[in-house]
Structure 1
Amino acid sequence: MASAFLDLHHGDTPLLIPNPWDAGSARLLASLGFQALATTSSGFAGTLGRRDGRVTRDEAIAHAAAVVAATPLPVSADLENGFGHSADEVAATIVAARGAGLAGASIEDYTGDDADPIYARDAAVERVAAAAEAAHRDGAALVLTARCENLLHGVDDLADTIARLQAYQDAGADVLYAPGLARTADVETVVRNVDRPVNVLLRDGGPLVAELADAGVARISVGGTFFYAAAGALVAAGTALLAGDTSFFAGADAGRAAAARAFD
Structure 2
Amino acid sequence: MSLADTFRTLHHGRTPADPLVLPGPWDAASARVFEEAGFPALATPSAGVAASLGYEDGQTPADEMFAAVRRIVRAVSVPVSADIEAGYGLPAKELVERLAETGAIGCNLEDTGPDGTLKDPREQADRLAQVRAAAGPDRLFLNARIDTFLRAGVADPVAEAIERARLYVAAGADCVYPIGAPREALPRLRAAIEGPINVGSPDLDGPSLREWGELGATRITFGPGLQRRAMGAVRETAEGLR
Within the alignment, does 1:101 sit opposite 2:99 as a pair?
A: no
Tell me which of 30, 36, 45 is aligned to 2:41: 36
SS in structure 2 at match of 1:150: coil
Tell me the amino acid that sits aligned with residue 85 of structure 2.
E
Q: Please name the residue that 1:235 is paired with.
A: 235
Aligned residues, how many?
234
Q: Which stretch shifts more, 64-73 or 17-26?
A: 64-73
Superposed CA RMSD in Å reads 1.6
Residues 146 and 161 of structure 2 are in contact (CA less than 8 Å); yes or no, is this contact kept in structure 1? yes
Rounded Cα–Cα distance in structure 2 between residues aligned with 1:109 and 1:26: 27
Query: For 1:60-84, what per-residue CA distance to the aligned partner results, in whole angstroms no more than 9, with x for missing partners?
Result: 2111111111111000000100111
Q: Which runs of 5+ in 1 are unaligned?
A: 243-264
Residues 20 and 26 of structure 1 are in contact (CA less than 8 Å); yes or no, is this contact kept in structure 2? yes
Describe the shift of the 1:206–1:163 C-alpha distance in structure 2 as closer, same or farther (beyond 3 A): farther
Rounded Cα–Cα distance in structure 2 between residues aligned with 1:121 and 1:99: 29
| Aligned residue runs from structure 1 range 180-191, under 5 A | 180-183=180-183, 185-191=184-190
| Aligned residue runs from structure 1 range 167-186, under 5 A | 167-183=167-183, 185-186=184-185
Higher Cα Rg, which structure: 1
Rounded Cα–Cα distance in structure 1 between residues aligned with 2:169 and 2:126: 12
Tell me the amino acid that sits aligned with residue 211 of structure 2.
E
SS in structure 1 at match of 2:82: strand
Tell me which of 140, 162, 165 is aligned to 2:138: 140
Query: For 1:203-245, what per-residue CA distance to the aligned partner results, in whole angstroms no more than 9, with x for missing partners?
Result: 4265431122212321111111011111111222222323xxx
Rounded Cα–Cα distance in structure 1 between residues aligned with 2:229 and 2:96: 30
Query: For 1:172-211, what per-residue CA distance to the aligned partner results, in whole angstroms no more than 9, with x for missing partners?
Result: 101111110122x311111211111111001426543112
- % of aligned pairs identical? 35
Within the alignment, does 1:16 sit opposite 2:14 as a pair?
A: no
Rounded Cα–Cα distance in structure 1 between residues aligned with 2:151 and 2:45: 18
Rounded Cα–Cα distance in structure 1 between residues aligned with 2:29 and 2:202: 24
CA shift, 1:91, in A, is: 4.1
Q: TM-score, normalised by structure 1?
A: 0.84
CA shift, 1:112, in A, is: 3.4
Rounded Cα–Cα distance in structure 1 between residues aligned with 2:92 and 2:51: 23
Q: Which runs of 5+ in 2 are unaligned?
A: none
SS in structure 2 at match of 1:152: coil
**Stretches (4+) displaced over 4 A:** none
Q: Which stretch shifts more, 11-20 or 197-206?
A: 197-206
Rounded Cα–Cα distance in structure 1 between residues aligned with 2:57 and 2:7: 26
Residues 2 and 141 of structure 1 are in contact (CA less than 8 Å); yes or no, is this contact kept in structure 2? yes
